[in-house]
Amino acid sequence: MGKKTNVAIAIAAAAGAAWASTKALSKPLSRTAKEALEYEHPIILAHRGGSALAPECSPAAFEGAAKLGVHGFEIDLRLTKDEEIIVFHDEYMSRVTNFSGRVADYTLDELKKADLGYHFLDLNGEYSYRDGGEQIMTLGELLDRYPQMLINMDIKDAPQTYEGSLMPSKLWRLLEVKEAFQRVVVTSFYDDQIDRFNLYAQNTVALGAGEKEVRKAYTAFTSQFKHLYHPKADVFQIPIKSNMFPLDSANFIKFLTSLNIPVHYWTIDDPNVMRKLIKNGAKGIITDRPDLAIEALKLD
């Protein structure tokens, strides 16, 4: 054999030995079960209350979704100028309200004067909620109003901002006051925010996966080193595709499920896609159309 062949064989042998040694030394640890994620059948979470049917994050949206029979809500959190946690997605107000400027530049009392239905077009293309009195809600108000619901909350304020630096501790204290640990999931696109929150929670609250955690899991799944993946999340809430990489395969779902990690997909409004994901093993659908999801999945 030539020199190049010998080198290739040596590299392959070394790689095989490395795989064998890591396989022997590392055993994947399943996540400890969390009460919030213990359900017998797939669930439907209304995205921002079901933002195709009523203004996103509005009382009307949440109430409408609850009446349809959803199992919970997927919401976003931001901190106000006076350090109140509100249910709101954007950093700036103008897309969904008649206000302009940043959320963090307003107090809660000021934000309560914003019209959440100002720009909302219903399914008939009409401004059916403009001047309808739909106000921004605090997280505390939502928790009080729907004690039976699973609420998945996404920290939107970036960790390097003043608001973001306060959010993990503020959120922990509010959940403590409301005794809501067993009916929420806390997540963020920013893995640092999840980690900061968990410094207070100490794994007593169900945690979602940030972007880095999802990449880490998918990289492990597509390699020969699945056994080296040690999850930090209790649930994955992900799109069906990220940067052209498919995240909706039955095998990827099975990989996460084997670690006691249910998978929820967002934001899914096509009933056929909903049914396919559930068939592949998904445990939850996050949707702007809870009416279609209820019909498609035929859930009680």
Domain that holds residue 53: 31-78+151-297
Does 119 fall in a domain? Answer: no
Residue 3: its pLDDT value, please?
A: 52
Contact 242, 214 (CB under 8 A): yes
| Domain at 42, CATH number | 3.20.20.190
Global pTM? 0.89
Does 236 fall in a domain? Answer: yes
The count of structural domains within the chain is: 1
Report residue 298: phi and psi, to 5°.
50, 50
Does 11 fall in a domain? Answer: no
Does 6 fall in a domain? Answer: no
Residue 85: its pLDDT value, please?
A: 98
CA distance 59 to 56: 9
Does 140 fall in a domain? Answer: no
Contact 209, 216 (CB under 8 A): no
Residue 242: its pLDDT value, please?
A: 86
pLDDT digits (tens, 9 = 90+) for 42-88: 999 999 999 999 999 999 999 999 999 999 999 999 999 999 999 99
**In which residue ranges of the chain is pLDDT below 70?**
1-28, 299-300
Does 193 fall in a domain? Answer: yes
Does 234 fall in a domain? Answer: yes
Please provide the DSSP assignment of 58-108 as one string: -HHHHHHHHHHT-SEEEEEEEE-TT--EEE---SBSTTTSS--SBGGGS-H
Does 53 fall in a domain? Answer: yes
